[in-house]
């Protein structure tokens, strides 16, 4: 019998979750036992077991499946064990084609308890593709049923979201299917505070969203996820009718678009959506909620100007070293020059003149160039030697794998001869499988390191000339060109400043700027 190096792929479907809810046991554990028994019966060497917890429609939403496909395409496995072919792909015809092509071109078998599919066998290929087609059809039927069920629940005033909004907890309805919301006292008071500050203000003076954020953050009040308050978070609360006791559903449907051959998803605001009385208690009155809507509608967001001219050469590059936000340009007033500041109002990171930060960034790039030139010869020799050593290590591990494969074959012979008991065979087989898996892991890691170092050599040879070109021409370029070239070379730069400069020392660089170039450092 041929010794196949295989992996096991386990994925939980919606039907599995329903079965678990009925008390039929944990699905992935049951499937794992079935496939391990199959591998034992057929003498396969199981190198890895992959478990997909998420139930994604497409391959892009299933990271474990992406990893399996990468390994299949690289020829890492002789076969993949699944309980049924439908577990591999339930996406559209493009996703199904990606899966079929990966297995066909890598000549990787798809092994199920009922049948082994050889993608290079014409009849097996047709059977496999038909199975994926039926799986897709079943998926659409299930999805239509679930969508209709959620819509029906929303019309009944039940809460259909997977996560509760700030101010509420999600609770199961008693005696019937579905969920509703229950106010969280401490958070509910914060929601009331936000609405009252926005509508009534303090001492008759209304407070905007930015000032509300600052007040909440200065008071040490955290968001649901423990983060800081921002204008979009406050606006989301003010716009959400759930706080007035209503249920809104399908207000932002996912709309798919094709852009450069890739599927992108947007969620525009819909005009036709479900808005009904909810079965949960309101936190604010409908009158207060409507007053907030009137004020928000009087201050709409400014439309994007297609003729917008970039004025910050460091746009998107400099990040605040204290809160992580992208630093922004502040337009000059009077005789002052442009400033670079953290947009987050409660952050105490001190701003600096934009030209000073610009100069510090260029000085840092110059240091990178000088450091490379100083050590360039030594680095090239070091990398070449390192690659040669890793290639020799890979050859050693491949020889070790050959020895282990022969050892595994002998274990099966000893089992058939009755020299090994079943328990002893399983113990030794697992140990051999672990050694084989460890060898594969080391080889994969070494190959990744070789690839990384080869890319690194290429990057170093191309990165430095680009830096030199930027340094030579930077001050002759317009703002947009400066930003474009800096983005090609710099991943980010982290800015930190703790104290303001004195009036006489206004042009001193008294901040730190940690630069992260796109060239990878060893």
pLDDT tens-digit series, residues 346-403:
788 999 999 999 999 999 999 888 877 665 554 555 666 677 888 889 889 889 888 8
Residue 136 has pLDDT above 80, yes or no: no
Task: Return d(Cα 295, Cα 241) in angstroms, integer.
Answer: 15
Task: Return d(Cα 136, Cα 114) in angstroms, integer.
Answer: 20
Which residues neighbour 187 within 8 Å (Cβ) at sequence distance 6 or greater?
Answer: 166, 167, 168, 224
Angle at 125 between CA 121 and CA 126, to 5 degrees: 125
Task: Return d(Cα 464, Cα 452) in angstroms, integer.
Answer: 18
The 3-class SS string of 224-288 reads CCCCCCCHHHHHHHHHCHHHHCEEEECCCCCEEEEECCEEEEECCCCCCCEEEECCCCCCCCHHH
* Average pLDDT of the residues in 154-173: 89
CATH code linked to domain 168-298: 3.90.1750.20
- CB 272 within 8 Å of CB 243: no
Closest C-alpha among 95, 98, 104 to residue 136: 95
- CB 192 within 8 Å of CB 324: no
Task: Return d(Cα 106, Cα 120) in angstroms, integer.
Answer: 10
More confident of the two residues 86 and 403: 403
pLDDT digits (tens, 9 = 90+) for 179-188: 899 999 999 9
Task: List, in sequence order, the alpha helices (H) in 272-353.
Answer: 286-298
β-strand pairing of 109-111 with 179-183: unpaired
Q: What is the pLDDT of residue 228?
A: 83
Mean pLDDT of the chain: 81
pLDDT band at residue 118, thresholds of 50, 70 and 90? Answer: confident
CATH 3.90.1750.20 intervals, the chain = 168-298
CATH 3.40.50.1390 intervals, the chain = 5-154
pLDDT band at residue 440, thresholds of 50, 70 and 90? Answer: confident
Quote the strand ranges of 44-157, DSSP E.
Answer: 45-52, 79-81, 109-111, 116-117
Q: What is the pLDDT of residue 156?
A: 87
Paired tokens of 218: 């200065």
Task: Return d(Cα 369, Cα 482) in angstroms, integer.
Answer: 18
pLDDT band at residue 131, thresholds of 50, 70 and 90? Answer: low
CB-based burial label for 356 (10 Å; 0-12, 13-18, 19+): buried
CATH architecture for segment(s) 5-154: 3-Layer(aba) Sandwich (3.40)
Residue 230 has pLDDT above 80, yes or no: yes
Q: What is the pLDDT of residue 450?
A: 83
Paired tokens of 468: 């030199």
Q: What is the pLDDT of residue 303?
A: 53
Task: List, in sequence order, the alpha helices (H) in 201-285.
Answer: 209-218, 231-239
Which residues neighbour 42 within 8 Å (Cβ) at sequence distance 6 or greater?
Answer: 1, 4
β-strand pairing of 339-341 with 328-330: antiparallel
Task: Return d(Cα 90, Cα 137) in angstroms, integer.
Answer: 9
- CB 221 within 8 Å of CB 191: no
Task: Tell me the sheet residues that pair with 276.
Answer: 247
pLDDT band at residue 25, thresholds of 50, 70 and 90? Answer: very low
pLDDT band at residue 337, thresholds of 50, 70 and 90? Answer: confident
More confident of the two residues 233 and 251: 233
Q: How far is CA 442 from CA 29, 65, 390, in A?
A: 28, 22, 10
* Average pLDDT of the residues in 298-322: 76
Q: What is the pLDDT of residue 503?
A: 77
Percent above pLDDT 70 for the chain = 80
pLDDT digits (tens, 9 = 90+) for 480-512: 999 999 998 898 999 999 988 887 777 888 899
Task: Return d(Cα 381, Cα 250) in angstroms, integer.
Answer: 60
Closest C-alpha among 80, 147, 146 to residue 112: 80
- The half-sphere exposure of 347 on its side-chain side, counting CA atoms within 13 A, is 22
pLDDT band at residue 1, thresholds of 50, 70 and 90? Answer: very low
Helix, strand or coil, per DSSP, at residue 278: coil
Residue 257 has pLDDT above 80, yes or no: no
Task: Return d(Cα 520, Cα 518) in angstroms, integer.
Answer: 6
* Average pLDDT of the residues in 97-103: 81
Residue 520 has pLDDT above 70, yes or no: no
Helices (H) and strands (E) in the chain, counts: 12, 17
Task: Return d(Cα 458, Cα 379) in angstroms, integer.
Answer: 12
């Amino acid at each position: 019998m041929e010794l196949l190096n295989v992996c096991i792929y386990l994925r939980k479907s919606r039907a599995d979750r329903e079965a678990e809810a009925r008390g039929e046991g944990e699905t992935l554990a049951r499937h794992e036992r079935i496939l391990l028994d199959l591998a034992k019966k057929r003498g396969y060497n199981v190198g890895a077991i992959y478990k997909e917890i998420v139930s994604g429609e497409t391959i892009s939403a299933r990271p474990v499946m992406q990893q399996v496909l990468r390994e299949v395409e690289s020829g890492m496995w002789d076969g993949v064990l699944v309980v049924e072919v439908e577990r591999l792909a339930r996406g559209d015809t493009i996703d199904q084609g990606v899966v079929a092509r990966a297995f066909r071109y890598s000549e990787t078998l798809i092994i199920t308890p009922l049948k082994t599919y050889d993608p290079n066998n014409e009849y097996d290929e047709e059977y496999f593709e038909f199975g994926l087609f039926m799986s897709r059809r079943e998926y659409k039927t299930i999805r239509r049923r679930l969508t209709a069920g959620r819509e029906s629940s929303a019309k009944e005033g039940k809460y259909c979201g997977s996560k509760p909004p700030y101010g509420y907890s999600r609770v199961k309805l008693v005696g019937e299917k579905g969920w509703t919301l229950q106010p969280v006292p401490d958070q509910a008071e914060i929601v009331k505070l936000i609405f009252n500050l926005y509508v009534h203000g303090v001492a008759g003076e209304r407070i905007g969203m930015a000032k509300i954020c600052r007040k909440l953050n200065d008071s040490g009040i955290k968001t649901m996820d423990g983060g800081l308050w921002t204008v979009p978070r406050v606006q989301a609360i003010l716009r959400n009718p759930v706080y007035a006791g209503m249920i809104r559903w399908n207000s932002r449907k996912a709309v798919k678009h094709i852009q450069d051959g890739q599927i992108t998803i947007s969620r525009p605001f819909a005009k036709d959506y479900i808005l009904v009385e909810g079965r949960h208690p309101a936190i604010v009155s409908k009158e207060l909620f409507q007053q907030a809507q009137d004020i928000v509608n009087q201050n709409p967001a400014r439309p994007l100007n297609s003729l917008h001219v970039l004025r910050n050469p460091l746009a998107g590059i400099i990040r605040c070293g204290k809160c992580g936000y992208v630093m922004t340009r502040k337009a000059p007033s009077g005789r002052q020059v442009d400033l670079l500041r953290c947009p987050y109002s409660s952050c105490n990171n001190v701003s600096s003149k934009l030209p000073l930060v610009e100069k510090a960034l260029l000085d840092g790039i110059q240091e990178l160039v000088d450091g490379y030139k100083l050590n360039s010869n030594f680095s090239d020799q070091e990398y070449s030697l390192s690659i040669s050593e890793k290639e020799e290590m890979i050859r050693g591990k491949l020889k070790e794998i050959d020895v282990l494969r022969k050892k595994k074959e002998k274990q099966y012979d000893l089992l058939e001869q009755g020299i090994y008991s079943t328990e002893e065979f399983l113990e030794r087989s697992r140990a051999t499988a672990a050694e084989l898996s460890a060898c594969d892991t080391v080889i994969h890691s070494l190959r990744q390191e070789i690839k990384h170092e080869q890319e690194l050599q290429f990057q170093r040879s191309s990165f430095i000339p680009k830096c030199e070109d930027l340094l030579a021409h930077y001050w002759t370029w317009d703002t947009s060109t400066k930003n474009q070239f800096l983005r090609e070379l710099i991943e980010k730069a982290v800015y930190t400043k703790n104290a303001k400069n004195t009036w006489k020392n206004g042009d001193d660089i008294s901040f730190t700027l940690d630069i992260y170039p796109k060239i990878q450092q060893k």
